[in-house]
Amino acid sequence: MRKKIDSAFSVLIYLLTACSIMALGFVIYFIVKEALPLFQEVSLSEFLLGKRWMPIDYTGTTAFGIFNFIVATVYVSFTAIILAVGIGLGASVFLSCVATESMCGILYPFVDLLAGIPSVVYGFIGLQVLVRIFLKAGVRTGTCVLAAGILLAVMLLPFLVSSCSETIRKEKKKYEAAAAALGIGRWYAIATIILPASWKNILLSMILAIGRAMGETMAVMMVMGNANLFPRLLGKSESIASVIALEMGTAEYGSTHYHALYGAGLVLMLLLFIINIGINMLRRRIVSNQGRDAE
The residues in 169-198 that bind other proteins, with binding defined as CB under 8 A, are: 185-188, 190-192, 195
The residues in 217-276 that bind other proteins, with binding defined as CB under 8 A, are: 217-218, 222, 241, 244-245, 248-249, 253, 261-262, 265, 268-269, 272-273, 275-276
Q: How far apart are alpha carbons 221 and 140 in whole angstroms?
A: 18
x-marked contacts with other proteins along 141-170 as a string, rule CB under 8 A:
-------------x--x---x---------
Residue 214 binding other proteins, by CB under 8 A:
yes
Q: How far apart are alpha carbons 162 and 173 in whole angstroms?
A: 17
Q: Phi and psi at residue 226, in whole multiples of 5°?
A: 50, 65
> Segment contacting other proteins (CB under 8 A): 43-51, 59-67, 124-132, 286-294?
124-132
Which residue's CB is nearer to other proteins, number 181 or number 281? 281
Which residue's CB is nearer to other proteins, number 60 or number 241? 241
Q: How far apart are alpha carbons 161 and 210 in whole angstroms?
A: 14
Q: How far apart are alpha carbons 144 and 239 in whole angstroms?
A: 12
Q: What is the DSSP letter of 54?
A: E
The residues in 79-118 that bind other proteins, with binding defined as CB under 8 A, are: 86-91, 93-95, 97-98, 105, 109-118
Which residue's CB is nearer to other proteins, number 234 or number 277? 277
- Candidates 73, 80, 220, 224; CA nearest to 142 is 224
CA angle centred on 63, ends 62 and 69, rounded to 5°: 140
Evaluate whether 168 touches 95 at the Cβ level (below 8 Å): no
Query: Please, what is the minimum distance in Å from the beta carbon of residue 61 to other proteins?
Result: 26
Name the pairing type of β-strands 63-64 and 53-54: antiparallel
CA angle centred on 214, ends 71 and 255, rounded to 5°: 75
Q: What share of the chain is helix, strand, coil (3-state, %, to 5)?
A: 80, 0, 20
Which residue's CB is nearer to other proteins, number 58 or number 253? 253
For other proteins, the binding residue among 139, 179, 216, 260 (CB under 8 A) is 216
Query: Please, what is the minimum distance in Å from the beta carbon of residue 152 to other proteins?
Result: 13
Query: Please, what is the minimum distance in Å from the beta carbon of residue 93 to other proteins?
Result: 4
Which residue's CB is nearer to other proteins, number 11 or number 232? 11
Query: Please, what is the minimum distance in Å from the beta carbon of residue 45 to other proteins?
Result: 23
First to last CA, the chain: 50
| Angstrom distances, CA of residue 289 to CA of 142, 163, 165, 212 | 48, 20, 21, 27
The residues in 30-89 that bind other proteins, with binding defined as CB under 8 A, are: 30-31, 33-34, 86-89
Query: Please, what is the minimum distance in Å from the beta carbon of residue 57 to other proteins?
Result: 23
Query: Please, what is the minimum distance in Å from the beta carbon of residue 201 to other proteins?
Result: 16
